[in-house]
A and B are shown apart, each in its own frame.
Chain A
Amino acid sequence: MSADKIIMRGRKIVGGVAEGEALVTSQTISGWGGIDPMTGTIIETRHELCGQSFKDKVLVFRGAKGSSGWSAAFHQTRLAGCAPKAVIFSEMTTKVALGVVVMRTPCVSELDDDPLEVIATGDWVKVDADNGIVEVIPK
């Protein structure tokens, strides 16, 4: 239902347009040691998404933590065909910036509303990174 559509605006981090089902976590994600790049699965035992894969999802998360191998691990998810379709995050760091650049997925951040509040897992999310627009259709 289009009436329920929520629009947010932010800054393009990596250009492109993509849409898909949201996978949301308010926690930060570890790259090296925190994900299996060959399947796109979160493996950190303490993580609320442990065991879930972000492959082909729109990954909505707080930001990056952990090892400086973050970018290389997420870079490898692209090669393995397991990268998310698009990425939305809320806390800027060098780890996450470099990671999304080499993952080459459309990405926006610095949104005018808190994406971790607005978007729920399972919502349909369209990311028009070129124009900095995020469109959310709640499930």
Chain B
Amino acid sequence: MKLSSDEQAMLDGEDGSGRQKAMELLVRYGEALGAEKFVDTDNVTGTMGSSSTFIRDYFDTGDDRDKLFSYFDLDSDEAVEIPKARTFACHLQTRFEPQRPDLHDTPAGALEFHQDNQEYTAGLGVKMLNTCTPYVVGNTPAQGEHCAWMESSAVVYCNSVLGARTNTEGRESTSAAMLTGKIPDWGFHRDEYRFGSHHVKVETPIESVMDWGMMGYYVGKMVQENIPVIEGISAAPELIHHKHFGAAAASSGGVEMYHVVGHTPEADSLEQALGSRKSAENFVYGINEMREAYDELNAQGNSDDIDYVMLGCPHYTLEQIAVVCRLIEGKKVHENSNLWIFTSRAVRNEAIKHDFHKIIAKAGAVLMTDTCSAMASATPAGTKVAATDSAKQTYYLPSMLGVEAWFGSTKDCVDAALTSKWRGVCP
């Protein structure tokens, strides 16, 4: 790789051994990619510092947090002093719900270690947003901004909706990027990589969160890691529509960027979205494809006795919490069922100002932060059948937690929580 003078200086240790080890890792990574140089970044989002007790015990680092960060986050053989982050950096969702540890199994000492992790990482200057939706609560990069983000649903939002630029980074690359302000100039940082490869002609109205989630699931499955260009959307999609579409497409396929003609920043026209790519594969998304997506998403649901309704993947916005509150106000979650709603700390704080937490508690539901069922491996005790309005969570729950899962609209899910019966229908 060709290094600039400041990069070479870091690699030579002129900015201390912490940044040197970070630079060494980034060079190994950049060379593996075949990147020729780095880009500067001032926006890093990851899970830096969140090690498990297994990793701590493996390296036998005890309370020496810098040592653990050196060995795991920077993949260094040498323990070095870790300096503060050089960039704006924030932390994604975690594996624990700090206020309600009673609601999920935590191995002895794991929660305490997690809290130590959080304090240490905050001490490095990382903003502990603890959400998969940093773009909702304080990290909204501008068009063209070079970022180094983890979390597939956030990455796809960052590229597609904001027009900022990031690859799907990992634990070690984000940890190194925040110390150096560098990330390999490869993939989505480059103009030519961002053009669409598949042209999706939409021939059915796409309006609700559920519509967008199903289309995301179908399109992701069809294009895998490629870049779909969605054409035929009349009503401008809202933030929550993008959030559910991107999360679904990033999990059923590996979509890191998409275009919606007329609605996303690099797709004023089909021609702009396809750019220099000479040909694009075509397919239609109509009522038949929607039904196919619905049926596939619901193929892992069998019993209609719902034990658990999970809302908030990706983390719910204030607007979505308000919708649920309207549906449950004055009602009760059925005694055979549970309703857990996941959001970010910032949104929960705002929800409290509107007394939403009281409505939720009074209905017998729970408002949680920092994590989700898939991340924390947490469902209510004895859960066999779950329902959710998230195509992404429907994709993960059966394989990760061995439960049946139903997918439906937010309203159908809330109905299932109130009646303990699944009565969802394909629109």
Does A68 sit within 8 A of B, measured CB to CB? Answer: yes
Across-interface contacts of A72 in B (CB, < 8 A):
47, 170-172
Asked if B187 contacts A94 (CB within 8 A), the reply is yes
Tier of interface size on chain A: 35 or more
Asked if B172 contacts A94 (CB within 8 A), the reply is no
A65-78 interface bits toward B, Cβ cutoff 8 Å, 1 = contact, 0 = none: 11111111001100
Asked if B170 contacts A99 (CB within 8 A), the reply is yes
The answer to whether residues A28 and B254 also contact, given A93-B168, A101-B75 and a CB cut-off of 8 A, is yes
Complex partner residue of B172 from A33, A66, A67, A71, CB under 8 angstroms: A71
Asked if A69 contacts B171 (CB within 8 A), the reply is yes
Asked if A100 contacts B254 (CB within 8 A), the reply is no
Across-interface contacts of B253 in A (CB, < 8 A):
65
Asked if A92 contacts B172 (CB within 8 A), the reply is no
Asked if B54 contacts A76 (CB within 8 A), the reply is yes
Asked if B254 contacts A66 (CB within 8 A), the reply is yes
B122-133 interface bits toward A, Cβ cutoff 8 Å, 1 = contact, 0 = none: 000000000000
A82-104 interface bits toward B, Cβ cutoff 8 Å, 1 = contact, 0 = none: 00000000011111011111101
Min distance, Cβ B158 to any Cβ of chain A, angstroms: 12
Does B343 sit within 8 A of A, measured CB to CB? Answer: no
The answer to whether residues A68 and B169 also contact, given A33-B374, A44-B399, A79-B55 and a CB cut-off of 8 A, is yes
Does B167 sit within 8 A of A, measured CB to CB? Answer: yes
Across-interface contacts of B151 in A (CB, < 8 A):
68
Does A43 sit within 8 A of B, measured CB to CB? Answer: yes
Question: Which residue in chain A gives the minimum CB-CB distance to B170?
Answer: A71
Alpha-carbon distance A3/B400, docked complex (angstroms): 46
Alpha-carbon distance A69/B172, docked complex (angstroms): 10
Asked if A71 contacts B396 (CB within 8 A), the reply is no
Q: Which of B54, B55, B224, B399 has the most CB of A within 10 A?
A: B399
Asked if A102 contacts B152 (CB within 8 A), the reply is no
Asked if B225 contacts A93 (CB within 8 A), the reply is yes
Complex partner residue of A66 from B33, B187, B251, CB under 8 angstroms: B251
Across-interface contacts of A91 in B (CB, < 8 A):
225
Asked if B399 contacts A43 (CB within 8 A), the reply is yes
Across-interface contacts of A71 in B (CB, < 8 A):
170-173
The answer to whether residues A97 and B251 also contact, given A33-B400, A44-B399, A72-B172 and a CB cut-off of 8 A, is no
Asked if B75 contacts A75 (CB within 8 A), the reply is yes
Judged by DSSP, the binding face of B is helix
Alpha-carbon distance A80/B374, docked complex (angstroms): 23
Alpha-carbon distance A52/B399, docked complex (angstroms): 16
Does A59 sit within 8 A of B, measured CB to CB? Answer: no
Across-interface contacts of A94 in B (CB, < 8 A):
33, 167-170, 173, 184, 186-187
Does A9 sit within 8 A of B, measured CB to CB? Answer: no
Asked if B32 contacts A101 (CB within 8 A), the reply is yes
Asked if A97 contacts B33 (CB within 8 A), the reply is yes
Across-interface contacts of A99 in B (CB, < 8 A):
170
Across-interface contacts of B399 in A (CB, < 8 A):
33, 43-46
The answer to whether residues A98 and B172 also contact, given A45-B398, A45-B399, A91-B225 and a CB cut-off of 8 A, is yes
| 8 Å CB interface, B387-427 against A | 396, 398-400
| 8 Å CB interface, B172-189 against A | 172-173, 184, 186-187
Does B72 sit within 8 A of A, measured CB to CB? Answer: yes
Question: Which residue in chain B gives the minimum CB-CB distance to A93?
Answer: B225
Asked if B168 contacts A79 (CB within 8 A), the reply is no
| 8 Å CB interface, B137-169 against A | 150-152, 155, 167-169
Asked if A100 contacts B75 (CB within 8 A), the reply is no
Does B100 sit within 8 A of A, measured CB to CB? Answer: no
* 29 pairs, A vs B, C-beta closer than 8 Å: A11-B34, A14-B28, A43-B399, A45-B398, A65-B225, A67-B152, A68-B152, A68-B168, A68-B169, A68-B170, A69-B170, A70-B170, A72-B170, A72-B171, A92-B33, A93-B225, A94-B33, A94-B170, A97-B33, A98-B29, A98-B169, A98-B170, A98-B172, A98-B173, A100-B32, A101-B32, A102-B25, A102-B172, A104-B75
Given contacts A68-B169, A71-B170, A107-B32, 4 further A-B contacts (CB under 8 A): A65-B253, A75-B171, A93-B168, A94-B167
Which residues of B pack against A, CB within 8 Å? 25, 28-29, 32-34, 47, 54-55, 58-59, 72, 75, 150-152, 155, 167-173, 184, 186-187, 224-225, 251, 253-254, 374, 396, 398-400
